[in-house]
């Protein structure tokens, strides 16, 4: 059984009447007419009809997607974005820095004194 969340289907529509037009919106679900008449907008009615077509009862839950706007979720998403950005910047910056060190140059492009004054190593 799945929960339906009222907030997922939009705001209540005061002009919405599931029984209008001779119950055209309720065709095929006449046995559940009383329950379907509680729908507050067309989205809710369609979700209720899908539940009933699958043979499931209708269960309304409170939260819906409200958890997305919680402060902890926003902080987590921002932290993940910062980590991805930091990883990208490090991957872009490290290879040129490593190559410069291998060539004997510092980050500023100057030859460090310990490299300029050193003798080449002899291989044994």
Please, are residues 58 and 51 in contact by the beta-carbon 8 Å criterion?
yes
Domain holding 7, by residue range, is: 3-67
CB neighbour class for 40 (10 Å; exposed up to 12, middle 13-18, buried from 19): middle
Residue 24: what pLDDT? 83
One domain for residues 32 and 57: yes
**Spans of the chain below 70 pLDDT:** 1, 63-66, 104-124
Q: Tell whether 86 and 49 lie within a shared domain.
A: no
Q: In total, how many domains does the chain have? A: 2
Give a yes or no: residue 99 inside a domain: yes
pLDDT score, position 111:
61
Whether 23 is in a domain gets the answer: yes
Q: Do 62 and 27 share a domain, yes or no?
A: yes
3-state helix, strand, coil in the chain (%, to 5): 60, 5, 35
Per-residue model confidence (pLDDT) at position 120: 60
Q: Clarify whether residues 21 and 57 are in a common domain.
A: yes
Asked if the structure places residue 121 within a domain, the reply is no
In a shared domain, residues 84 and 57: no
Q: Is the pTM of this model over 0.95?
A: no
- The C-alpha atoms of residue 103 and residue 98 are separated, in whole angstroms, by 9
Residues 62 and 86 in one domain: no
Q: What pLDDT is stored for residue 78 in this prediction?
A: 92
Cβ distance 109 to 103 under 8 Å?
no
């Amino acid at each position: 059984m799945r929960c339906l969340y009222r907030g997922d289907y939009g705001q209540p529509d005061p002009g919405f009447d599931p029984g209008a037009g001779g119950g055209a919106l309720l065709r095929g679900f006449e046995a559940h007419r009383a329950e379907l008449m509680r729908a507050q907008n067309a989205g809710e009615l369609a979700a209720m009809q899908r539940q009933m077509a699958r043979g499931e009862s209708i269960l309304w839950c409170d939260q819906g997607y409200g958890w997305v706007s919680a402060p902890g979720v926003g902080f987590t998403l921002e932290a993940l974005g910062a980590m991805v950005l930091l990883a990208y910047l490090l991957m872009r910056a490290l290879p040129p820095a490593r190559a410069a060190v291998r060539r004997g140059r510092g980050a500023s492009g100057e030859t460090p004194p310990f490299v300029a004054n050193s003798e080449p190593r002899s291989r044994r």
